[in-house]
Amino acid sequence: MRGMIEVRNLTKRHGPRTAVDDLSIHVRPGLVTGFLGPNGAGKSTTMRAVLGLVTPDSGETLVGGRPFRSLVRPLCSVGALLDADAAHTGRSAYHHLSVLARAGGIGRRRVAEVLDQVGLTDVAHRRVGGFSLGMRQRLGIAAALLGDPGVLILDEPINGLDPEGIRWIRELLRTLAGEGRTIFISSHVMSETALTADRVVIIGRGRLIAEATIGELLARFHRDVLVRGPREDELKRLLLAHGAVVRPEPGGGLAVGGGRRGAARPPAPDNVWISELAAAHGIPLYEITPRSASLEEAFIELTDSSTDHRTGRRQA
């Protein structure tokens, strides 16, 4: 499929350490897909494998159904941001992009366009060595955009950007995804990814942990429902009588969790169930808010369990 990134059973070892372990993922066009994992989880290795920079020990990676190394003019179909030092410090931003454009068969006109797009026109003729991390990130993004590619693979694009830069890249990536492009961005910070990505792929120790939309992830880590009202004592007795677990909140209100009496596999009390129960007994409610564990907590829980699992298995 055009624009699809496929990783099939990818395994890569660096000496005794397995960086990527039988990993299979699909990254679809038209979406921003976040690629998450703690440092050293294998994100960069996987991305570099997709770009033909890392030779897999087994498995394969395809972009639009083809191995990257078989692409004739790859800049025109796949744009990449690698590390921030992926430019010679002695070259100016303009020359850095001109060199890549020429090697990739792209006209000089695009160089000025992408410099303008990332806001580096004023410093185009300054040497990259004098750039801040944020400016080097913008230069890397400019390089990725050179060929107006349908697929963007960006390793930690938000690193080093200031708040204005972070907002800028979020809007840029959302726009590009809206045009039907495939956007694949890695990060080790869940919260910043959640604001940009539609879907996330989470890996730990080179293995797939979860592949889900942000909404699915939030639902999976649903914690409890916060309820406030004028007759909280009465409401608490009612909920307890129906099998819910109720704790008073420090700031007022009730945290409602636990099971629900009568159901075969008791689902957690949700806002619908609580409000209908309260209404049936004529108890008014001021506020009813379903709460999830924060994405950061979800991320740590997911990646921790993968670590434990692997440690246990190795000892067995």
Question: Contact residues for other proteins (CB under 8 A)?
Answer: 2-3, 29, 48, 51-55, 64, 68-78, 80, 82-83, 85-92, 95, 98-100, 102-105, 143, 147-151, 178-181
Within a 10 A sphere around the Cβ of 262, how many other Cβ atoms?
A: 8
Instruction: Please state the closest distance from residue 26 (CB atom) to other proteins, in A.
Output: 16
Supply the minimum distance, in Å, between the C-beta of residue 89 and other proteins: 7
CA distance 267 to 273: 10
Q: How far is the CB of 159 from other proteins (least distance, A)?
A: 14
Q: CB under 8 Å to 288, separation ≥6 — which residues? A: 225, 226, 227, 228, 271, 274, 275
Task: Answer whether 49's CB lies under 8 Å from 10's CB.
Answer: yes
Task: Provide, rounded to whole angstroms, the least separation between the CB of residue 283 and other proteins.
Answer: 48
The residue among 37 and 150 lying less far from other proteins, judged by its C-beta, is: 150
Shortest spacing between CB 180 and other proteins, in angstroms: 4
Provide the CB-side half-sphere exposure for 21 (13 A, CA).
15
Task: List the beta bridge partners of residue 187.
Answer: 36
Nearer to other proteins, 104 or 257 (CB): 104
Which residue's CB is nearer to other proteins, number 80 or number 200?
80
If the CB atoms of residues 35 and 68 are measured against other proteins, the closer one turns out to be 68
State both tokens at 36: 């998450």
Long-range contacts of 106-112 (CB under 8 A, 24+ apart): 106/75, 106/76, 106/146, 106/147, 110/146, 110/147, 110/148, 111/146
Q: For other proteins, which is the closer residue by CB, 100 or 169?
A: 100
At closest approach, how far in Å is the CB of 95 from other proteins? 4
Measured from the CB atom, the residue of 116 and 249 that comes closer to other proteins is 116
Which of 170/181 has CB closer to other proteins? 181
CA distances from 51 to 66, 80, 151, 286 (A): 11, 8, 11, 54
Nearest distance in Å: CB 149, other proteins = 7
Phi, psi of 2 (to 5 degrees): -60, 130
CA-angle at 50, arms to 45 and 55, nearest 5°: 65
In the complex, least distance from residue 67 CB atom to other proteins, rounded to whole angstroms = 9
Q: Which residues of 191-228 are buried (b: 16+ CB within 10 A; e: fewer)?
A: ebbbebbbbbbbbbbbbbbbbeebeebbeebeebbbbb
- The answer for residues whose C-beta is within 8 angstroms of residue 13's C-beta and 6 or more apart is 19, 57
- Looking at the Cβ atoms of 64 and 269, the one nearer to other proteins is 64
Alpha carbon 207 to its chain's center: 16
